[in-house]
Structure 1
Amino acid sequence: MGRGEGGESIVSRIRARYEELPPSERKLASLILDFPGDMAGYSATELATLAGVSKAAATRLFRRLGYVSFEAARRAAREEQAWGSPLFLLSQGPELEVTDSHVRRLMEQELANMARTFEGLDVAGLEHLVDALISARRLWLLGYRNSHFLADYARWQFLQVRDQVQLLQSNGATLAEQMVDVHTDDIVVAFGFRRRITRFRQAIRLIHTKGIPVLYITEPGATEARDHGNWVLHAEVSGAGPFDSYPAACSLIHLLSVLMIRRAGRTGRSRIQRIEELHADLNDFD
């Protein structure tokens, strides 16, 4: 996804051909390299005007880059935005001052993400999911890049409730060396937020083909989640700027851990009590 025709992004295509471009086409190419995401919102004429070149020069550039039309190139830029590339989420404009309105806009985006995340939950299905998380022989947490810290956070939360909660591919081990211990009575909690790396997709497909249950947590619109997740939870991560934001995902993890401790009953409370007693014995906190 996000590469358009031929599998290359427009940025990669321009960089590969930049030195051989005629001056007028190079001016437009330089503008696109600085703010490739702007292509998604402008017409070919508007882009040409911004770069100070003719529409004919713009047409020649996109054909030279291998696109059948400007619309095909713009469609590829939109795919890059949906894919979550920060470069394609940047917009041209003056440097933004830090103002009350800027902070308020960020806050409103986070609150909207939180609301959409929780409004989209299948509350009726949560009880079955939580029971499965409690009763599984072992929970495995999987995530790469930004999803890795979410997997790690979930591990620490779930460990308060139950034992046998582990990260997949931790401590320098290969995925194969840990996958050998994963069984069909376990659950893999997979955090697959954009942009998903190839290794994550390979791991999820392998886990799925082996019949191991998967809780797939991702952003809305991740279509492969339906194919590989026994349960799928969505968290909104679109930020007010070029980077994705994860408070809603963290709140979703918090919700699961709270529901788990409540459903675990006396067993869960007993575990927390033992943990707190050990904290006291070890004088862990000031």
Structure 2
Amino acid sequence: MNKETYLQELRKGLKILPQYDREEAIEFYEEYFDEAGVENEAKVIEELGEPKILAKKILVDVVDRKYEETMAASSGNALAVVPSPIVSGAGTSAAPQFQQVQGTEIPQAQGAPVFGAQSGQYTQAQGAAGYGAQANPNYEQAFNGQPAEDKKSKKGDQPSALKTLWIVLAAIFALPLSPVIFALLIVACVMIFVAFIVLISFLIAGISILVAGIGTSIFGIVAFFMNPAAAMVVLGGGLVCFGLGIFFILGSLALIRLVAHGLAKGFGRIVHKRNRKNKAAQAVA
């Protein structure tokens, strides 16, 4: 496997993420490959591990970062993001340090890159790579937040509430979980599925009432020329159905969005706590 194949596999593993976050991650590791040099591609690939495993770690770190940004923004300070524990052996240099060995450059520190507190800043860490461990100050929005900079490039890339929930759930199942917690999460997902089925049923009912209201209103307008009194009653009933249909549709969509947003935030908190716990354990080790 070479650099191109590795990054291609990594991109496939990150396809669930919004395009901006996916490209940011790919650019980060592509730059790391370039700085290591062609002669060290095999060593870098060995350090990073399998693309699928690295993609799961990136997914968890991105969701963790988004949760921190959401909490920081709600407290009125979009940049007050809690820094993640730096794992054992991490440094603070602005780029990976290299030393010359027999005419080639190899990383001086052991381990793969960890994305630092600012965009483009690297630190060396022992173990697997982590992307997005701390927030990028130039990226001040969460999945459903408003972009602070690069509005044109990011605004169209904001996922819906349902897509955000899907991303967060994927991040949870990417974490190392005990069988008990895994079983509880499966039960929770089934309950969430049932809840959304009920909400979708309300949405379908609203559409049916709306269609019935439109049909009844048209019939009332046509009958107005034959029996005005009866036509007024029919037209009034049709307009009532039309209004109820609009109410059910807009209400159902609002509830779906509200529930999805609340669940994404709650599960994001779980990802945040588990990720902090895992990194703290790595720091102790």
* TM-score normalised per structure 2: 0.31
More helix by percentage: 2
Structure with more contact order per residue of length (Cα contacts < 8 Å, sep ≥ 6): 2
Larger radius of gyration: 2
* TM-score normalised per structure 1: 0.31
